[in-house]
A and B are shown apart, each in its own frame.
Chain A
Amino acid sequence: GAGVSQTPSNKVTEKGKYVELRCDPISGHTALYWYRQSLGQGPEFLIYFQGTGAADDSGLPNDRFFAVRPEGSVSTLKIQRTERGDSAVYLCASRGAGELFFGEGSRLTVL
């Protein structure tokens, strides 16, 4: 596709449930990033992939959060046992040789 695609655009779930958020990066971009953004704050780094491997996962808040990119393209961010504090917009970005291109984000609401 022409840009970074994220699905779903909105997800409402209940506390304790499992959630998956998907990111389809720009074709050919080897680096892929996940950020989380709470209201009134700038995006907060979570994890980035270089190809299939996680090059830096230092931003993941705890072991309930996990991300994969098995074929070096699409990535999935997985959140187990969701908590109300996980409510945020989750942004994905990809980078080829130039600058970061962001998707529109997935808004997660945990009730």
Chain B
Amino acid sequence: DAKTTQPPSMDCAEGRAANLPCNHSTISGNEYVYWYRQIHSQGPQYIIHGLKNNETNEMASLIITEDRKSSTLILPHATLRDTAVYYCIVRGGNSGNTPLVFGKGTRLSVIA
């Protein structure tokens, strides 16, 4: 699976959009981009995933560049409860149940 690069930390004002970037320049054609987050003292939680089209669900939006070498997770109206570590993971679509490989992620602090 391709490696990802994320900034170690970011701040965001409460109520504003949080835009979390991820670089995955070596991504291959059948690899998906996954996002998980981990709130303090809890296990990681699935947010969203995508292949090449932009995706949106009740939690967030995922914007993937046309060349697929980078993506951005958008939390449209960040709240204090969104303070967490956010992990961007690239994984093959035919990987079956093979495990996710986590990096260090981005620590997002939402500030009142």
Contact = CB atoms under 8 A, between A and B. Distances in A.
Interface of A: 4, 30-31, 33, 35, 40-45, 48, 50, 55-56, 59, 91, 93, 95, 99-105
Interface stretch (B10-18, B60-68, B70-78, B102-110): B102-110
A100 B105 contact: no
B20 to A, nearest CB: 15
B43 A93 contact: yes
Contacts of A41: 104
Contact of A45 (B44, B46, B101): B101
A104 B49 CA distance: 22
B87 A102 contact: no
Interface in B86-112: 87, 97-105
A48 B99 contact: yes
Given A41-B104, A42-B87, A42-B105, A104 B99 contact: no
Interface of B: 34, 36, 41-46, 49, 85, 87, 97-105
Nearest to A91: B43
A106 B10 CA distance: 28
B103 A31 contact: no
Contact of A55 (B34, B97, B100): B97
26 contacts: A31-B97, A35-B99, A42-B85, A42-B87, A42-B102, A42-B103, A43-B44, A44-B102, A45-B100, A48-B98, A48-B99, A50-B97, A56-B98, A59-B99, A91-B44, A93-B43, A99-B46, A99-B49, A100-B46, A102-B42, A102-B43, A102-B44, A103-B43, A104-B41, A104-B43, A105-B42
